Structure 1
Amino acid sequence: MPRFLKDFLNRNGTGPGLAMLGLVLFWTVGLIILPQLSMLDFSFRPNLPPPELGGPKDLYTLENYKYLVYGPEGGSQAYNTVDLMVFFRTLVAAVCVTVFNLILCYPIAYYLGQTRGNHIRVLALLLIIPYWINEILRAFALRIIFGETGVLNTIFMGIGLFDAPFDFIRNDYALYAGLGYAYILLMIFPIYNVIESLDHNQIEAARDLGAPWWRIHWRVVIPYAKPGISSGCTMVFMLSAGALAAPQILGGPSSLWFTQLIYQQFNDSSDWPQGAAYAVVLLVTCVLLVLAVMRLFKVNMGDIGK
C-alpha cells in the first residue's frame, strides 16, 4: 500500500478513510470518467435508428467531427461557418466573463480577507443569500430587470438618460451580466480563502517602504493569491462556456451559445452522436485553453486544488 494512503487511513481511521476513498472513487469514475468515455464513444458513431445499432453500419466514423468544420455534404458553403462562429464566440464570451468577474471580485475578496470585524460576516452572508434561489429563477429575475419595461429602462428613462427603452437583451448586456452574476461566488471565495491567510504585516512593510497601492497588489498580494485566482478563473471559465440556462433565458436572437447547439442536437434533432461530438470538442478545447493559460502564467495544477 502506498505510504500516502497509509497516512490517510491512519489520520482518519480505516473505516471512515475507506468510505471517503470509495465515495471519491465513485464520484470520479462513476459520475465523471465513465460518462465522458461514453460520450466520446457516441461521438464516433453514426446516427442510426435503434434496430440498426450494433449492426454492420454501426462503425466508428469521423463524420460527426467533420460536420462541425465542413457542414453537411453538398452544402452551399465550404465550411460550417454558423456553428464555427457560435463556437468561437462562446469561447471569447466565456473569457470576457471570466476577466470581468476577476476584475469585479478581486477587490471584494481582498476587502473580505484583509478586514476584521463582524460586519465582514454580514457582508459574506449578503453575498450568499441570493444564491439560495434557483439559477433559473435568478435568470428570469434578471430578464425582468433588463427588459424593455424593466427596472433599468424605467430608471434611465425617468432621469432622462434614454428617450426610448434600450434593448439590453438583444445587445447581450443581460446575458453577460447574468453569466457574471451566476458565478460570482466561485470567483470571490477561492481568492478570499487565500488572501485571508496573507500576513498583513507584509502589506504594512511594503507601505512603510513607500510602495504605492498598485505595486503592493502586483508584487505582494496577487502572487500570493495566485492559487485562488487560478481556481476561480478556471471554474468561471468552464462553467460560462458550458452554461445553458442563462443563454436560453437571457440571450438575444443573435446570441446563440454553443451549448444550445448541443442541446438542439440531443433533443430537437435526436442526433446523439452529433451532439456528443460537439460536447467533446467544447470540453477538450476548454481544457486545452485552461492548460495553456496555466502554463503561460506558470500556475501548477496543484495550485488550483488548494
Structure 2
Amino acid sequence: MYNQLKDRFGGPLSVGIVALIAIWLIGMVILPQLLMVDYSFRPNLLPAEVGSEKDVYSLTNYETLFNNGIHMTIFFKTIWSSVLVTFLTLVVSYPLAFYLAKVATPRQAALCLLLLIIPFWINEILRTFSWYIILAYKGPLNALLLGLGLINRPIRFLSGDGGVMIGMVYAYILFMIFPIYNAIESLDTNQVKAARSLGAGWIRTHYRVIIPHAKPGIATGCIMTFMLAAGSYAVPALLGSPGSRWFTQIIYNWFFEGGDWNQGAAYAFLLLIICISFIGLVMKVFKVGLGDIAR
C-alpha cells in the first residue's frame, strides 16, 4: 500500500498519510480495546482499592454472564437476530444493487442513489423514531391496513422483535447496497449477455456468473451490517419492547447505570469476540481475503 501511495503522492506525503493512519489505529482502536480487555479481568473497586491486594486478575466478570440465564439468553438472541437482520438486508439489497449496476440508465441510477442517500442526511435517532411512529398501534401503517380492510384490528408491530428488525434493515441498508453495487458494476456486461445467450436463465446467471463475481462486495456488506446490528443501541432501545432487549442495552446499563465498567467491559469483549468470529466465518464461506474486502 505504501508503494502505491508513494507513486501517487510522493515520499513525504505518503509517510504522513501512513503515520496518520497508524496514529488513528493505535490511539482510537487498538489502545481502547486493550484497555477494555484489561478492565474485563479486574474487579470493580473503589479508587482507594485500585492497586491493592484486591486488585487481581480473574474471570469473575465473565462468570457473571455465564451464570446469568437471562443475560445469556439475550446474548444469543442478539447474535441470532443480527444474523437474521444481515440476511434480510442482503435479500432486500441484492436485487436493488443489481438493478442500479446493470439495468438502470445512468440517470435512473443517480436518481435512485439520491433517493436512498437523502434520508440518511437525517440523524439516526430521528429516522428510527419515524419508524416508531409508523409502526405504532395507532400509527399510519395500521390505519392504512384497516382502511384497506386487510386487518380487522390494529397489529402491535412493536410488541416483539419485528419492529427492531424493520428498523435495522432500514438503518443499515446502504452499508449492504454500496459494496454489492460496486462489485457488480465492475462485472463485464458481456459475461451476463453470454450466459443468457447460451440458454442460462436469470437465476442460473446470477448463481454462476454474477454472485461469484460479487462475493467480495457481499462479504463486505454482510460484515458491516452484522457488526452494526450486533452493536446497535438506538434502534432496539426505541423500537424494541421490554421483552426484546438487545445485549448492547445490558452493556450500557453496566457502564452508565450500574457504574461497573469492569463488568461492562467483559460483556463488551465477549460481543467483540463473536463479531470477529463472524468476520472470519463470512470470509471462509465466501472464500475471500482481507485484500478482497478492502478493495
* TM-score bucket of the superposed structures, by smaller chain: over 0.9
> Does the 8 Å CA contact 1:230/1:303 hold for their aligned counterparts?
no
**AA partner of residue 107 (structure 1):** P
Tell me which residue corresponds to 1:74. Answer: none
Tell me which residue corresponds to 1:104. Answer: 92
Deviations 1:221-244 (A, max 9, x none): 000000100000000001100100
Alignment of 1:1-306 (within 5 A): 5-6=2-3, 8-70=5-67, 80-115=68-103, 116-306=105-295
Unaligned runs of 5+ in 1: 71-79
Aligned residue pairs total: 294
In structure 1, C-alpha distance between the alignment counterparts of 2:2 and 2:167, rounded to whole Å: 43
In structure 2, C-alpha distance between the alignment counterparts of 1:248 and 1:220, rounded to whole Å: 41
Once the 2 structures are TM-superposed, how far is the Cα of residue 298 of structure 1 from its aligned partner? 1.8
Deviations 1:266-300 (A, max 9, x none): 01110100000000000001111221232233222
Find the residue that maps to 2:228 and give its secondary structure.
helix
Find the residue that maps to 2:157 and give its secondary structure.
coil
> Does the 8 Å CA contact 1:45/1:61 hold for their aligned counterparts?
yes
TM-score scaled by length of structure 2 = 0.97
Higher mean C-alpha displacement, 51-60 vs 81-90: 51-60
**AA partner of residue 30 (structure 1):** G
In structure 1, C-alpha distance between the alignment counterparts of 2:2 and 2:17, rounded to whole Å: 12
Deviations 1:4-61 (A, max 9, x none): 6355324311232122112211221110000000000000110111111122211111
In structure 2, C-alpha distance between the alignment counterparts of 1:238 and 1:187, rounded to whole Å: 12
Cα 1:18/1:145, change in 2 over 3 Å? same
**AA partner of residue 248 (structure 2):** T
Q: Identity rate of aligned residues, in percent? A: 49
**AA partner of residue 47 (structure 1):** N
Find the residue that maps to 2:199 and give its secondary structure.
coil
Deviations 1:156-205 (A, max 9, x none): 11122222221100122211000111100000000001111111110111
Tell me which residue corresponds to 1:76. Answer: none
**AA partner of residue 265 (structure 2):** A
**AA partner of residue 141 (structure 2):** L
Unaligned runs of 5+ in 2: none
Once the 2 structures are TM-superposed, how far is the Cα of residue 301 of structure 1 from its aligned partner? 2.2
In structure 1, C-alpha distance between the alignment counterparts of 2:7 and 2:188, rounded to whole Å: 32
Tell me which residue corresponds to 1:73. Answer: none
Find the residue that maps to 1:17 and give its secondary structure.
helix
Structure in which a larger fraction of residues adopt helix = 2
Pairwise CA RMSD: 1.2
